[in-house]
Amino acid sequence: METARKIDHEKQGTRRWKKVAWLTAGIIMILVAAAFIFVNVYINRSLPETSGEVKLDGLNAPVQVTRDEAGVPHLEAANERDLFMAQGFVQAQDRLFQMELARRQASGRLSEVVGESTLEQDRYFRTLGLRRAAEKSLSLYSDEALESLEAFADGVNAFIEENPLPPEFAMMGIDPEPWEPIDSLTIGKYMAFDLGGHWERQAFNYHLLQEFPEEEAYELFPTYPENAPTVLSDAAPVDIEKSLSDAVLPHEFNGSNNWVVSGDRTESGAPMLADDPHLGMATPSIWYQMDLQAPGYQVSGVIFAGVPGIILGHNDDIAWGVTNVGPDVQQLYMEKRNPDNHNEFLYEDEWEEADVINETIQVKDSDPVEMEVLETRHGPVISEFAEKSGEETVLSLRWTALDPTTELEAVLEMNRASNWQEFEQGLEKFLAPAQNFVFASKDGTIAYKANGRIPIYDQPDDALLPLRGWEAEDEWNGFIPFDELPEVVNPEAGFVATANNKITSEDYPYHISHNWAQPYRYQRIEEMLGENDSITPDDFQAMQMDVKNLQAEEFLNFMIAQVNEDKTKLEKESIALMKEWNFEDDRDLAQPLIFHRWMGILQDELYDEEISEEMRSFFEGSGQTTDELLRKVRKGEESLWVEKAGGIKALMTHSFKSTIAEISEEFGDDPTAWTWGDYHAVEFTHPLSSIGFLERFLNAGEPSPVSGSRVTVRAAGFKSDGLVNHGASWRFVIDMENTEEAYHVVGPGQSGHFRSEWYHDQLDDWVEGSYHLTKTEGFEGEELTLAPE
């Protein structure tokens, strides 16, 4: 009996515990559900309002904002001040977190919100002084341009003050400071930084001459110098690897394609223009597409988030696009330091006091870091931002973008231009970065100009190496006069195209650059333009998606011919496959995978044993240099670097065998089953996606296989793991017969909010080559009214 009662008691206890357990589980589930609902409500409440009415203190009259099916905001205002205020508000709706990171990165203030991991990056940007250069530029702007900047800032601040912030701010635990006009200009200076100017190649060339025999060093120079440099023997050496290995370098392949054809070459009889700037691929896009309309101001296209106006696009009368010129606008100077005064440097036999700038970097969860920046007559001393490495000699940087410049003033004038003369007048104020502008007008004019402040070198070879900071004769000799910059108007050929290729002939009187992109994209564009005299917008779109690999067409047969006969079955199958290739970098083909991996391993075998990984990152244009070495050997000439690698046959054979071994280990032993897309894929990663579980929310999912490469018109640069991180950040095509519409792709989408329908909606379009048509009249979409308080 007692046993039965005990059992019954235990059963009752078990039932009670089960009830408690179920109750607890139920409570937990309710709490989880409540938390989930709260998080969703919190996140969703920060989605932009795209319909109804929003009061905006500071407006003079209502502004209509219509977002079309691609999420492109069309702004219609009664006056320009209201237009730019509304532009700031709308950009903040979609891209505020991106704007916050952009101004922090350019200003050297990321460590405040990230911590010690970005400290060296901040030190570098504090040393460069992009924000200091923006502050100096502000004084050059007209009252009208300043009013536009201030109105834009007012719009951004109106959003910050009255609206829920995007969820990334909570993730980072920060609140944005008020937006200022200087923030917009600083972002503009950062774009000049991103498009570079070759100081790193000067540093690399200097390193070569320190580490290798002269002939070996010169063979890797972009141009073989006629006169030996004197700077090396005139100053104590600077250890480039130690001094600059932590420097932040722009992406080597930042560039673009653009072309314009006359009405004689088009089906419509009007000029047509195409542009696709090649920059980093990320979420959100570097570009933000907008359509701006007010009395006397109508323009449609793209702009960097955080900047007013439209930098690339069209209005009712004209259209324009750019590629990077890539001129030598950055010059390293060796500076001799006074042994008795750390802040003095020699110039013309006298000691000059450098400017001393004290910077304090706030670091999240750590103590502030104090640093001292020295600026000589040439610019900031960049060889000491990481550590003291030159007691006797340091390196300073002279760079046109650190001068006061007026790019936004130029943009606003270009936006209003109605013909080539007015547009060119605006270009005179666009100083940095130097860009290849192509232009089309409804009046039938097509034109091209390599624009920007480009220094004059008395001797072109001077731009190959650091110069003597203590000699006046080594100073730049002014800048190329605006009217003498390379220019073409209505060429006889009926078209103009650029792809970061060499833009001047041998008789051009000024030096532009030693560092040009490999010529394959330009050659392919020219080839395609020459095939058609009745061009349509569809043809231009197909050209932008073209994946013909002219580098492989030039070198593949030569490379195969050098591989030894002693091949495995797999290697023979791979060679046979390569001989069948149509030279297209198609994601479904095996051949581009073999070719690009082979070229990469070949370069590694040429340089890795001799040049450290840190210095390889300074070897800007290494692909162009490698092509030249192969051309030398193919012509029967000797290459010292190829011989050091064992000769051309040993180099080609070993690199090919290594390539096939690597690919088979990753993708199996059947070459017919390999594809370029298995390796070469795009993801558009968000800057916060590396934080734990956030990847599943902020990124689009599995990377998408994609065609193209670094050398095709459809640019798709990739990292060592195959992930595409560089390419056409925006694609644009317009037929001037009807300037009320144009074709666009903004990968991966317009919005920076991961819950928005326009967050990744253009990712597949970017991969597949689909375009959306943007109209400036007769468009439909969600309507929001921004009304005065």
* pTM (two decimals): 0.93
From 614, 641, 674, the end of a domain falls on 674
CA distances from 314 to 66, 416, 472, 707, 739 (A): 19, 10, 45, 29, 8
When pLDDT is cut at 50, 70 and 90, the band that residue 17 belongs to is: low
Decide if 607 is inside a domain: yes
What number is the average pLDDT over the span 159-179?
95
pLDDT at 692: 74
pLDDT at 12: 57
Q: What is the pLDDT of residues 545-570, one digit of tens each?
A: 999 999 999 999 999 999 999 999 99
pLDDT at 6: 53
pLDDT at 760: 97
pLDDT at 227: 62
Decide if 291 is inside a domain: no
Decide if 691 is inside a domain: no
Q: Are 292 and 283 in contact (CB under 8 A)?
A: no
Decide if 1 is inside a domain: yes
pLDDT at 240: 84
From 644, 674, 704, the end of a domain falls on 674
| HSE, side-chain direction, 13 A CA sphere, residue 323 | 29
Q: What is the pLDDT of residues 461-506, one digit of tens each?
A: 999 999 999 999 999 999 999 999 999 999 999 999 999 999 998 8
Alpha helical stretches, state H, 582-726? 591-607, 613-616, 622-634, 640-644, 648-667, 676-679, 695-698
pLDDT reading at 194 higher than 60: yes
| Nearest by Cα to 194 from 129, 140, 252 | 252
- CA-derived radius of gyration, the chain: 29
What is the share, in percent, of the chain residues with pLDDT greater than 70?
Answer: 92
What number is the average pLDDT over the span 372-378?
97
Decide if 601 is inside a domain: yes
**Tokens 């000589």 sit at which residue?**
376
pLDDT reading at 578 higher than 70: yes
When pLDDT is cut at 50, 70 and 90, the band that residue 36 belongs to is: very low
246 in a known ligand binding site = no
Q: Residue 316 phi/psi, 5° resolution? A: -70, -20
73 C-beta neighbours (distance < 10 Å), count: 26
Q: What is the pLDDT of residues 610-624, one digit of tens each?
A: 999 999 999 999 999
pLDDT reading at 665 higher than 90: yes
What number is the average pLDDT over the span 654-679?
98
Q: Are 280 and 272 in contact (CB under 8 A)?
A: no
Q: Beta strand pairing status for 287-294 and 73-76?
A: parallel
Q: Are 96 and 159 in contact (CB under 8 A)?
A: yes
Q: Are 342 and 92 in contact (CB under 8 A)?
A: no
**Tokens 């910077």 sit at which residue?**
359
pLDDT at 242: 83
The H or E element spanning position 374 is strand 369-375
Q: Is omega for the bond preceding 433 within 30 degrees of 0, making it cis?
A: yes
User: Could you list the residue range(s) of the whole structural domain that residue 578 is in?
Assistant: 550-583+590-674
Decide if 646 is inside a domain: yes
- Mean pLDDT (the chain) is 92
Q: What is the pLDDT of residues 502-533, one digit of tens each?
A: 999 889 999 999 999 999 999 999 999 998 99
pLDDT at 160: 97
Decide if 257 is inside a domain: no
pLDDT at 442: 98
Q: Are 178 and 103 in contact (CB under 8 A)?
A: no
Known catalytic residues are 256
By the 10 Å C-beta count (0-12 exposed, 13-18 middle, 19+ buried), 514 is classed as: buried
When pLDDT is cut at 50, 70 and 90, the band that residue 35 belongs to is: very low
Dihedral angle computed from the Cα positions of residues 463, 464, 466 and 467, in that order, rounded to the nearest 10 degrees = -50
Q: Residue 155 phi/psi, 5° resolution? A: -65, -40
Decide if 430 is inside a domain: no
What number is the average pLDDT over the span 308-319?
98
Q: What is the pLDDT of residues 245-266, one digit of tens each?
A: 788 888 776 779 999 999 999 9
By the 10 Å C-beta count (0-12 exposed, 13-18 middle, 19+ buried), 101 is classed as: buried
Mind spelling out the 3-state secondary structure of 410-445? HHHHHHHCCCHHHHHHHHCCCCCCCEEEEEEECCCC
When pLDDT is cut at 50, 70 and 90, the band that residue 40 belongs to is: low
Q: Total structural domains in the chain? A: 2
From 638, 654, 674, the end of a domain falls on 674
| Nearest by Cα to 655 from 613, 586, 608, 588 | 608
When pLDDT is cut at 50, 70 and 90, the band that residue 27 belongs to is: very low
Mind spelling out the 3-state secondary structure of 124-164? HHHHHCHHHHHHHHHCCCCHHHHHHHHHHHHHHHHHHHHCC
